[in-house]
Amino acid sequence: MQSASAYESYHTLFADVPKPFAFLDMDRLDANIEAVLRHSGHKQIRIASKAVRSVEILRYITEKSNRFQGVMCYTLAEARFLAEQGFIDLLVAYPTCDRKEIAQAVSWLKKGVPITLMVDSIAHIRLIADVAVAEAASYPKWADFLRVRAELDPHGVFLNDYLRTLFGLR
């Protein structure tokens, strides 16, 4: 079925269906998945959630190949929702300055949910670091980590200003 004739067929088929409604041609989705896999060589592929607004379809795509790795989310709130649905390896594509949302992301990391935050400036990095330092104190193994770090690097050779601040050594 060619694109123009597919449109005409769908237009006729759904003429009497009340709008708005959703329809997904699963055969075409499968063909698109195969095309993406074929054209991307052996690279891992991250699905952009803003292009796929259905948890069931995101899950369907990720289950088609182990080359689909993680989800690029639009916001931290969306990442939280997808984490609650069992998705892992979440990348938040747009920076946030919301301390509560960043703190929530830190709590996901503590639970083992990989999440990556994008930044646009040094100010974003500082904000994330400030929230992470405040949240790290509540990490149950934080004291153990600091003890092992001190044993492995007793003279602080591998520390820089950022790490000293992050580890609360200033």
Q: How many residues does the chain have?
A: 170
Token pair 């193994």 is found at 141
Successive 10-residue mean pLDDT values, the chain, 170 residues? 76 94 94 97 95 96 96 92 92 92 86 86 88 74 86 92 78
Domains of the chain as residue ranges with CATH: 25-134 (3.20.20.10), 140-170 (no CATH)
Task: Output the pLDDT for position 130.
Answer: 87
Task: Output the pLDDT for position 143.
Answer: 80
Q: How far apart are CA 160 and CA 167, in angstroms?
A: 11
Token pair 């698109």 is found at 32
Nearest CA to 88 out of 67, 65, 62, 60 is that of 62
Q: How far apart are CA 97 and CA 119, in angstroms?
A: 10
Q: How far apart are the first and last CA of the chain?
A: 67
Q: How far apart are CA 43 and CA 66, in angstroms?
A: 11
Is the omega angle on the peptide bond into residue 20 within 30 degrees of 0, that is, cis?
yes
Task: Output the pLDDT for position 23.
Answer: 92
Token pair 């929530």 is found at 104
Task: Output the pLDDT for position 54.
Answer: 95
Task: Output the pLDDT for position 139.
Answer: 66
Per-residue tokens: 163: 């790490």
Residue 17: which residues within 8 A CB-CB, separation 6 or more? Answer: none
Question: At 69, phi and psi to the nearest 5?
Answer: -125, 110
